[in-house]
Chain A
Amino acid sequence: MNDDTKSKETTLSFEKIKQDVLRPMQNHRGLELWIVFLITVISVGAWAYYVQLRDGLGVTGMRDYVSWGLYIANFVFFVAVSLVGMLISSILGLLKVDWIAPISRIAEIIAVAFVAVAGLVIVLDMGRPDRVLNVMIHGRFQSPILWDVTVITTYLVISALLLILPMIPDLAICKKEIKTAPPMLKKLYAILSFGYTNTPEQHKHLHKMIRTLMVLIVPVGLAIHTVTSWLFAATLRNGWDTTIFGPYFVAGAFVAGSAALIIAMYFFRVNYKLQDYITELHFDKMGKLMVAVCLVYLYFNVNEFLVPGYKMKSGDSVHLKELFFGSWAIMFWSSQLLGNILPIILMVNKRFRMPKPIMIISIFVLASAWFKRYVIVIPTMLHPHLPIQNVPDNYQHYFPSSVEITVTVLSFALALLIITVLAKIFPVVPICEIADQKGIDYKIEE
C-alpha cells in the first residue's frame, strides 16, 4: 500500500466526484483474487464447523469450567466493532458534526457486516444449533439472551436502513452511470433508488426518515452492547459480577469501532484512490475522537480493576492476581498498554494522527481490543467459587483448539467478504452528500 498523501486539494466538480467514487467500483483489478481468497478461507472454516457439528463442541478447547471460550469472546468483539456505526453516523451526525460525511458510509458498512456476523457467531457457539428456533418457540423473556437476540436483530435492520437510505440519491446515479454493471446489479440499483430524482420534496422526506433512524439507533446501539455485557454481569462470577459492565463495554466498543474504521478508511483511501475525500483532516479528527473514547475507556478500566483490586475480596483476589501478575498478566497488560494507554499518549501528538501512523496504531488498538475481550471472558471462567477438582487436567486450563480457531477465522473472513461486496456494489463515499456539503449543484435524472 502506498499512501499518496501529497495529492493536493483540487477543486471538485460534481462530475469529478462521480468519476472518482464510481471508478473503483468498476475496476476489478485484484478484487476477484481477494474474493476467491476469502471464500477459500470461509470454506475451510465451514469444514471445521462441520467437524464441530458432527463430533460436538468437544472438538473445541472448552470444557465444563471454561464453557464459554473463544467464540463468546469473539462475539463480544464483533458486537463491539459494530457499534462504530452508531457512534459515527448517529451520535456525531445528530450533533451536526459535518466532517463525518465522507466516512459515515464506511462506518455503516462496518456496522452491518460486524453485527450480522456477530449474530452468526453466537449460533456457531451453540451446542444444538439445530434447535435455534426454540428461541422463538419457547423464548423466555427473562433471559438476557432473548434481549440480545432482539436488540441485535433490531440494530442490524436499522443499520442496514441507515446504510441504504442515505445512499438512495447515489444509487440513482449508479443506475444511470454504471453501464457495465451486470443486469442483477442494475436491477438492484433501480429498486433501491426508488425513482429518486432529488426533488426538494423527496429530499425533505428522505432526510426526515434518516434523522428518525439516527435517533432510533442510539438507544438500540447502546442496548446491544449493554445487553451483551449483561450476559456476564448477570452472573455471580468473580470478575463479571460488577455494576459498570454496561458503560465499560460501550466505551470499549467505541475504541474498537473507531480503530476498525480508521483501518478501513486508510484502506479505501489508498486502494480506491480517495485521497481527495478521505483526507488527512479526517484521520486527524478520528485520532482526536479516538483519544477521547480511549480516555473514557481508561477511566472505566481504572474503576473496574482498581476498586476491587483495592479491596481484594477473597473471590476477586484470586482472579485479579492472575490478571495482574499471574498467567494472564502479559495479555492483560499488553491489551491495556497497546490498546489504550500508549495510543492516548501517542495520538495527542499531531504527527501520529497522520494517516499512516494512526492506521498502524489502530491495528494495535483493534488487536488489543480483541485480546481484551478474551481476557474478560476466559479467566473468570477459570476462577469459579468452588475449587475445580476430580476432572481431567485439560478442564483446568483453556486453549482454543484448531477447529475453534479456524471457525473464528471464518467469522473474520465472512465480515471482510461482506464489507468487500458492499464496497464493490455501493459507492463507499456519499457522492451527493459531499456535493451538498461543498455547495456543488447537481441534478439526478430519471
Chain B
Amino acid sequence: MTQKTSDKSRRNFLKSFGVTVGAAGVVSSFSLLSAAKAAAKEPGETVNLLTADGQLVQVDKNQLRPTVNEPLDELQQRGREGIAGKSFVMVIDLSKCRNARKCMSACQNHHQLRADQHHINVLQMQDADHTAPYFMPKPCQHCDNPPCTKVCPVDATFKRQDGIVLIDNERCIGCRFCIAACPYSARIFQWTEPKDAEKYKDLTYNIEANVPQKKGTVSKCLFSADRLREDKLPSCVSACPNGVYYFGDRNEDAVTNGTSGETVRFSKLIEENAGYTLMEELGTKPRVYYLPPKNRAFEFNGDLLNEENLH
C-alpha cells in the first residue's frame, strides 16, 4: 500500500512538470504509463530524466513508455512516402568548421549510436600535397542518383519524394551491398547488438529516425527525417555552435542556418560562395553542398595529417 502511494506521488510530481520528458536528453520523448498499468508492476531500476523545463528527476523505469503514437504500419508508410512538395538540401560551410563535433554527438544521441558509429563524421581533409587541410563534416549525401539504393535487393533502402534516402531496418537482410556501393562511406552496419538494445526493445520502430537500431542491419544519416516532420532542423544542424550548417528546401530556395536561425536564399548562398558537391564526377548528384574552406578565422588544429590519414 505504501508502495502504491509513493508511486502515485511520484507520478503527480512528474505531471506537474508537464509530463513529456526526454530520457536524459538521450532519445525520443517518453511519457508516463497509464496509472493502472504502472501500479501493477514492481518498482524496478530508476532512470534519470530531464523534464521539459530542465529539471533532472529520478523515475521508475516501469513507469515510462515511449511516446510513439502511430502504429508501425503508418510510420512505415509515411516514412516511405516522404513529405510532399519538399526537396531537402543541406549546405555545409567548411570555412566555419572548427571540429567541435557537436553534430556528431547530437546525431549519435538521436539515432542511438555508440561513440564510434557515425552517421555524420567530421573528417580531416587535404585534397593534394601543399593544399591547406580543413575539417569536413560528412553526412550521407542523399544522392539523387544513389548507388546505394540501386543495388539493394529488397528495397530496404530507398529514395523518397522529398529527396531523402532512408533505410527500413525491418526489411534489410544485412547483405551490405549498399555499403560497398556508397562511395562516400556514409553507411554503417550494426555488427553486434546495438547500443542500449535492451532498453529500447519495446519501442515501435520509426523508419524516419531508424530507431531502435537493429543488429544485422544497416544505418546511416537520415537528415533527421522524423524531426523534419515536426518542422525542426536535423539534430546535427541544430547542435552546431559555429554556424556551419544550413538546411532547407530547394523548392522554396530557402535554407536556414542551424546556429543563427537566419534563413537565406539557397541559390544565392551557393552562388556567392562557389558552393560545390563532393566527388561530383561520380555522377551521384548529392543533395549536400559544400562551401569551400576559405578565409578561415581560425587555425587548423587537426592532428597533422600524415600519409595514412589521407589519400
- Report if A and B associate in a common complex: yes
In the complex, A146 Cα to B175 Cα: how many Å?
Answer: 12
A135, A142, A385, A391: the one within 8 Å of B116 (CB): A391
When A134-B154, A385-B279 are in contact, do A128 and B216 touch as well, CB less than 8 Å?
A: yes
A/B interface sample: 10 pairs, CB < 8 A? A67-B179, A67-B180, A129-B173, A140-B154, A144-B177, A145-B151, A234-B151, A387-B125, A390-B104, A395-B116
Chain B residues contacting A128 (CB-CB under 8 Å) are 172-174, 216-217
Assess whether A234 is in contact with B181, with CB atoms less than 8 Å apart.
yes
Establish whether residues A57 and B180, one from each chain, have CB atoms under 8 Å apart when the complex forms. Answer: no
Q: Which residues of A sit under 8 angstroms from B155, Cβ to Cβ?
A: 138, 140
Known: A58-B192, A390-B116. A384 touches B183 (CB 8 A): yes
* Interface membership of chain A positions 300-340, coded 1 if the CB is closer than 8 angstroms to chain B and 0 otherwise: 00000000000000110010000000000000000000000
Apart from A385-B184, A391-B116, 9 more pairs, CB < 8 Å: A58-B191, A127-B216, A131-B172, A138-B156, A143-B151, A234-B150, A236-B282, A383-B311, A385-B311
Cβ-defined contact, B154 with A126, below 8 A: no
Verify if A357 is at the interface (C-beta below 8 Å from B). no
Residue of A129, A131, A132 with most chain B CB atoms under a 10 A cut-off: A131
Within 8 A of B (CB), among A27-74: 55-58, 60, 62-65, 67-68
Q: List B contacts of A219 (CB < 8 A).
A: none
Say if the beta carbon of B270 comes within 8 Å of chain A.
Answer: no
CA distance A253 to B185 in the complex (A): 30
- Tell whether B274 is near chain A: CB-to-CB under 8 Å: no
Assess whether B75 is interfacial by the CB under 8 Å rule: no
Q: Is the CB of B173 within 8 A of A142?
A: no
User: Within the complex, what minimum Cβ distance (angstroms) separates B306 from chain A?
Assistant: 11
Whether B183 lies near A236 (C-beta < 8 A) is yes
Residue pair B153, A139 in contact (C-beta under 8 Å):
yes
Given the known A-B contacts A67-B176, A142-B150, A143-B177, are A389 and B124 also in contact in the complex, defined by CB atoms under 8 Å? yes
With the chains together, A383 CA to B123 CA distance in Å? Answer: 15
Residue of A nearest to B193 (CB): A56
CA separation between A138 and B122, bound complex, in Å?
Answer: 35
Say whether A392 contacts B150, CB under 8 Å: no
CA distance A224 to B184 in the complex (A): 29
Going nearest first, the 4 A-B pairs with the smallest beta carbon separation are A127-B174, A127-B216, A58-B191, A58-B192
Chain B residues packing against A (C-beta within 8 Å): 104, 116-118, 121-125, 138, 147, 150-156, 171-177, 179-181, 183-185, 187-193, 215-218, 279, 282, 284, 309-311
Which residue of A is nearest B158, CB measured? A140
Tell me the bound Cα distance from A235 to B184 in angstroms.
Answer: 12
Q: Are B185 and A384 in contact (CB under 8 A)?
A: yes
Pick the contact of A386 from B156, B185, B189 — CB < 8 Å? Answer: B185
Query: Which of A65, A139, A145, A237 meets B175, CB within 8 Å?
Result: A145
A328 to chain B, nearest CB (A): 15
**Bound state CA distance, A381 and B176, in angstroms?**
12
User: Bound complex: CA of A388 vs CA of B118, how far in Å?
Assistant: 12
Q: Given A127-B172, A128-B217, A236-B183, check contact A143 B152 (CB 8 Å).
A: yes
| Separation of A200 and B172 alpha carbons in the complex (Å) | 55
Chain B residues with CB under 8 Å of A138's CB are: 154-156, 171
- CB contacts (< 8 Å) of A385 on chain B: these are 183-185, 279, 311
Interface residues of A in 140-170 (CB under 8 A from B): 140, 142-146, 149
Contact A318 B171 (CB under 8 A): no
Cross-chain contact B173 with A388 (CB below 8 angstroms): no
Does B123 contact A56, Cβ atoms closer than 8 Å? Answer: no
Task: State the CA gap A135–B309 with chains docked (Å).
Answer: 38
**Given the complex, which residues of B lie within 8 Å of A409, measured CB to CB?**
none
| Least CB separation from A238: chain B residue | B311
**Contacts known (A56-B216, A385-B279); A236 close to B181, Cβ less than 8 A:** yes
Nearest neighbor of A319 in chain B, beta-carbon distance: B311
- The answer on a CB contact under 8 Å between B173 and A126 is yes
Evaluate contact between A145 and B311: CB separation under 8 angstroms. Answer: no
A4 CA to B228 CA, complexed, in Å = 78
Least CB distance, B168 to chain A, in whole angstroms: 9
* CA distance in complex: A234, B151 (Å): 8
Which chain A residue has the least Cβ–Cβ distance from B152? A143
User: In the assembly, what is the distance between CA of A185 and CA of B223, in Å?
Assistant: 61
Task: Report the separation of the CA atoms of residues A55 and B156 in the bound assembly, to the nearest whole angstrom.
Answer: 23
Interface presence of A92 (CB below 8 A): no
- Tell me the smallest distance from the CB of B219 to a CB of chain A, in Å: 10
User: Contacts A56-B192, A128-B173, A387-B311; is A135 near B150 (CB within 8 Å)?
Assistant: no
Knowing A143-B153, A385-B279, say if A57 contacts B216 (CB, 8 Å).
yes
A377 to B, closest residue via Cβ: B180
Bound form: Cα–Cα A383–B279 in Å: 15
Q: Is the CB of B189 within 8 A of A64?
A: yes
Q: Is A264 an interface residue (CB 8 A)?
A: no
Residue interface mask A230-267, B partner, CB < 8 A = 1: 01101111000000000000000000000000000000
A55, B216: Cβ atoms under 8 Å? no
- Give the docked Cα–Cα distance between A101 and B120 (Å): 60
CB pair A135 B151 closer than 8 Å: no
User: Nearest Cβ distance between residue A244 and chain B, in whole angstroms?
Assistant: 19
Task: Tell me which residues across on chain A come within 8 A of B117, comparing CB atoms.
Answer: 64
Q: Which residue of B lies closest to A133 (CB)?
A: B173
CB of A125 within 8 A of chain B? yes
CA distance A68 to B218 in the complex (A): 13
Q: Which residue of B lies closest to A392 (CB)?
A: B116
Determine the chain B residues whose CB is within 8 A of the CB of A384 once the complex forms: 183, 185
A148 CA to B217 CA, complexed, in Å = 21
Closest beta carbon of chain A to B135's beta carbon, Å: 11
Q: Are B176 and A131 in contact (CB under 8 A)?
A: no
Distance of A386 Cα from B286 Cα, bound (Å): 15
Asked whether A126 and B147 contact (CB < 8 A) given A56-B215, A386-B123, A389-B309, the answer is no
Q: How far is the CA of A126 from the CA of B172 in the complex (A)?
A: 10
Is there an interface contact between B153 and A145, defined as CB atoms closer than 8 Å?
Answer: yes
Contact check, A235 vs B189: say whether CB atoms are below 8 A apart: no
Cβ B174 vs Cβ A57 within 8 A = yes
Would A56 and B191 count as touching, CB distance under 8 A?
yes
A428 CB to nearest B CB, Å:
36
* A67 shortest CB reach to chain B, Å: 4
Of the candidates B124, B174, B191, B279, the one whose C-beta lies within 8 Å of that of A387 is: B124
- Is the CB–CB distance between B309 and A387 below 8 Å? yes
Q: Which of B125, B147, B156, B216 has the most CB of A within 10 A?
A: B216
